[in-house]
Structure 1
């Protein structure tokens, strides 16, 4: 009987943890232990169990929601196209004429490629065949596709060949795709080899732009790409949670809030440019 009661209490506690995670976006082990009157070791076991079930992502001191995964690039491009187009227009407005860009794979980044000015003398390097094709169809933009194995899920080329190709470039702007982005965890991704390429490119880029749809903010994926402070500009949706924006701004990240008909820049004191 005692064993069954313990199981029920554990299940109920983990259900409440999931509810708190959904409401607050992050949970910490110490406050949870106090709330449930259990040890921190017990809470850490709860979080480990939830993480193993794919219901949260463990981070230092607690947990955050799991970064979304919505299928292949071809499938994701059809999800929330108006929101992604608004983010893309905001990014395109920040690109200086004559820039060398690297556009990482991603459905929002595909929208960025479709929003770039064709008469600005841009050179775009990408590891995503769909993005390269979109640029070729528009014309007016010099396009370079780096090689390697094409991953069907991400729509990206990565691996040793892509890493070697990427070493040739020093982008003015890296438009970095993110599976998850969190104040504490930074930009994260789901595929190790792809994150390796992302991190290598970030280390050689003058500025790093990241666009985040609302469902990615406050989430984390298994592999680290860059720390929050490395983001030059973070582009968020018009209805992004103000608390999430304040947390990013507090870390010195410059923010651009996108809207369907305009883009308004919001920059914290001492923020990056």
Structure 2
């Protein structure tokens, strides 16, 4: 019988690829009850990976930001960006990921037998790696922001300074031709700035929106 972590990993992949899942179809595929699938979807929704709807769930491709909505990413764009991001991750690498729908999807889409270390300030990213038994996950502490779903502040920044990563995957931000990479507020900008500085390589994923 398939474990809940295995089912949820498959559901995450399906959401990244198709943007939605149906509870009855998953129940038939996994040979479990629809109640079991609904519990899986509830867990994934709590982790910020999907939004539950009648009969199933939709990929959650946006996150709330201070003073309004963050940029929304279509399921198609999310799948394309996720595939591009995962191709950059090499076995044994140390990866920095902040809170973003793309990073949650990317974490869940990484090969489950890959050995790597992921350092993040976002519980949703850590949860997405629950089925990756070869991954070492470091969840940073600090002041937790309920609206953003991640940690900020001096404690988080101090802990970040202890790591030297191979790659920082930056998402949920914007690129300006004159000022470069931007963030939604000062606290988020500080996290991204330190993650950039503590990484040997940085990659920014953005859409034309």
C-alpha spacing 1:177/1:129, structure 2 compared with 1 (3 Å): same
Point out which structure has higher relative CO (alpha carbons under 8 A, 6+ apart): 2
Structure 1 consecutive aligned stretches of length 4 or more whose deviation exceeds 6 Å:
75-78
Q: For 1:77 and 1:109, locate their aligned partners in 2 and report how far apart those are by CA, in whole Å.
A: 14
Task: Please point out which of 43, 51, 64 is paired with 1:72.
Answer: 64
The alpha-carbon deviation at position 192 of structure 1 amounts to 0.5
- 1:107 equivalent in structure 2: 101
TM-score (norm 1): 0.49
1:212 matched to which residue of 2? Answer: 206
**1:164 maps to which residue?**
158
Give the TM-score normalised by the residue count of structure 2.
0.63
Distance 2:139 2:187 in 1: 18
CA-CA distance at 1:90 after TM superposition: 0.8
Any stretches of 5+ residues in structure 2 without a counterpart? 1-61
Q: 1:85 aligns to what?
A: 79
Q: Which has the larger radius of gyration?
A: 1
> Structure 1 residue 118 and structure 2 residue 112: aligned?
yes
For residue 189 of structure 1, the aligned residue among 170, 183, 192 is 183
**Which aligned pairs between 1:39-58 and structure 2 lie closer than 5 A?**
none
Deviations 1:102-158 (A, max 9, x none): 111111111111121222211101000111111114433111100111223322211
**Map of 1:1-273 to 2, 5 A cutoff?**
71-72=63-64, 79-215=73-209
Tell me the equivalent position of 1:32.
none
Query: Unpaired segments of 5 or more residues in structure 1?
Result: 1-69, 216-273
CA distance in 2, matches of 1:78, 1:135: 23
State the Cα distance separating 1:88 from its structure 2 match: 1.0
Aligned pairs, number: 145
Aligned partners of 2:146, 2:207: CA distance in 1, in Å? 22
